[in-house]
Amino acid sequence: METRPAFDAHPSSDALLHFRRNHNNTDKVLRISWGIGRFGPECVCLKKSHLFLALIAASIAVIIASPGISGYEGGVPDSNLDYGCSTNCHTKQSGSAITMDASATDLDIGQSVTVSVGVTGGEASGTPLGVMIVSALTKDGSLPSDAGWTITSDPTGSATNNYHEVGAYAGSVTMSWTLTAPSTAGVYTLYAREIHGNGDTWKNDYSAGIAFIVGTIAPGELTVFITSPSSGSEVAGTISVAATMIPQGDISYAILSVDGNVVDNKGSGPFTWSLDTEQFTDGAHVIKVTAVNSTGAVGVEEIAVTINNAAAGETILSWVWTMAAGSLLIIAFLAMFIVMALMIRRRVMKGGKVE
């Protein structure tokens, strides 16, 4: 190892990197080269083994940093994406809230409908966030067009992609697509997913989806009865919604919706749902169960109920008051009767009336 007074770049084109070490000020000459000894004895050369170690270190660094840079760092352009891409790229459940709404759920064939997806919160503040609508939660064949939908307008208003991305998410965003219903009568479901990066590969699905009844479906082949709650009843708290289908066999799935919004979709019985009415405002609501069997027949039953959680809360409060007041009364009576008994005894003993 030799030192030189000056520090300059080595002229050799073979060198990936070349420094020299100054004798006096300890600048070190460092060279990475495929060759050995080509730069003379003044160089400290990184040999093949050094380069190999450096590559391993770089690989480890990439692996460590991969959650933040895997997927598509910086986002991807608006495009038509299957659900599968986001399954592969984004795996960690986001803390965001995702909602989905539609302008109508009973559609004629070819009718236009607007589907809106809202995202609130999450980890993507100031960074890209994308939302897609899909027709299935499967890796492939999940584009809306695969189910017969036609996107006529995406959130940009000028394109027809099922995936749209905002460059700098500000904590809340709503995106709307306009679609044309499929040309074949049936029940179709659209789902939504939001994905974003910013430190990890976040995702959040609206897996309940929105079910659309498109066209006229042959009536009478499948009948749905909502056995609980009863129509017109007043409900509060968590209630059980139960439905029975006739014929009972071969039910492909049954959808519970409230006021046209899908709450859950069950692929097998028993078709009973636990519904927290506190998620809805007090007042009149419509509970609807739509069932589809293996022949494609659809049965629908809807009932009106009145949610009154405010009254239920007051009832509970009053009940607690009753419990507390009754207990205090018992304790007060206990004290009073004991004192009375002791005073009677005291009076009798002092008076010495008898015997």
Partner 1 sequence: MVTMSALHALTAELHSGFLTLAFVCVMIVAAAQVVVRYKNHMPDIFVRWAIVVRGYAEAASYVAAVAGLLGLLLSGYTGMYAWPMDTLLESGVVRNKILFTVYATVMWGAVIFIRTRFGRGLWTCPAMAFVYVTFTFVAYGFIGMAGSLGAHITQGGSVLDPLWSIVGFKVESIVDFGPELAAGIALASAGIFVVSLWLARRYDLFAMKLAPETCQKFFKWDEPRIHEPVAEKR
Q: Please report how close the Cβ of residue 264 comes to partner 1 at its closest, in angstroms.
A: 18
Give 65 or 310: the residue with its C-beta nearer to partner 1.
310
Is residue 346 near partner 1 by the rule CB under 8 A? yes
Using CB under 8 A, which of the segments 126-134, 247-255, 280-288, 344-352 binds partner 1? 344-352
Identify which range of 96-104, 107-115, 221-229, 319-327 contacts partner 1 by CB under 8 A: 319-327
Q: Which is nearer to partner 1, 55 or 317 (CB)?
A: 317
Amino acid making up residue 134: V
Burial code (b: 16+ CB inside 10 Å, e: under 16) for 202-221 equals bbbbbebbbbbbbbebeeee
**Nearest to partner 1 of 158, 353 (CB atom):** 353
Task: Give whichever of 1 and 353 is closer to partner 1, judged by the CB atom.
Answer: 353
Q: Quick one: which of 59, 99, 295, 315 contacts partner 1 (CB under 8 A)?
A: 315
Q: Are 214 and 186 in contact (CB under 8 A)?
A: yes
Distance of closest approach, residue 132 Cβ to partner 1, in angstroms: 36
d(CA 221, CA 200): 49
Using CB under 8 A as the binding rule, whether residue 61 contacts partner 1 is answered as: no
Q: How far is the CB of 272 from partner 1 (least distance, A)?
A: 13
CA nearest neighbour of 169 among 194, 186, 152, 136? 194
Bridge partner list, 305:
285
Q: Give the DSSP H or E segment for 64.
A: helix 48-69
Min dist CB 348 to partner 1, Å, is: 5
CB of 328 vs partner 1, minimal distance in Å: 4
310 binds partner 1 (CB under 8 A): no
CA distances to 14, 162, 214, 248, 253 from 297, rounded to whole Å, are 74, 29, 13, 12, 11
353 is a site residue for partner 1 (CB under 8 A): yes
Question: Is the CB of residue 176 less than 8 Å from the CB of residue 114?
Answer: yes
Query: If 0-12 CB within 10 Å is exposed, 13-18 middle and 19+ buried, where does residue 325 land?
Result: exposed
Q: How far is the CB of 266 from partner 1 (least distance, A)?
A: 20
Of the pair 62, 342, the CB lying nearest partner 1 is at 342
Considering the rule CB under 8 A, would residue 316 count as an interface residue with partner 1?
yes
Residue 313 sits in the site that holds partner 1 (CB under 8 A): no
- CA 155/CA 160 separation, integer angstroms: 9
Task: Based on the shown chain and the rule CB under 8 A, indicate whether residue 311 belongs to the binding site for partner 1.
Answer: no
Helix (H) or strand (E) holding 62: helix 48-69
321 to 340, contacts with partner 1 by CB under 8 A?
321-340
∠ CA 149-153-155 to the nearest 5 degrees? 115
Residues in region 178-237 near partner 1 by CB under 8 A: 236-237
Q: Which of residues 236-275 bind partner 1 (CB under 8 A)?
A: 236-239
Q: Whole-number minimum distance, CB 258 to partner 1, in Å?
A: 18
Between 152 and 240, CB nearer to partner 1: 240
User: At which residue do the structure tokens 């299935």 appear?
Assistant: 136
Smallest distance, Å, CB 343 to partner 1? Answer: 6
Whole-number Å distance between alpha carbons of 234 and 242? 16
Measured on CA atoms in the order 113, 119, 125, 130, is the torsion positive or negative? negative
Alpha helices in 273-351 (DSSP H): 309-351
**Binding stretches for partner 1 (CB under 8 A):** 236-239, 312, 315-319, 321-346, 348-349, 352-355
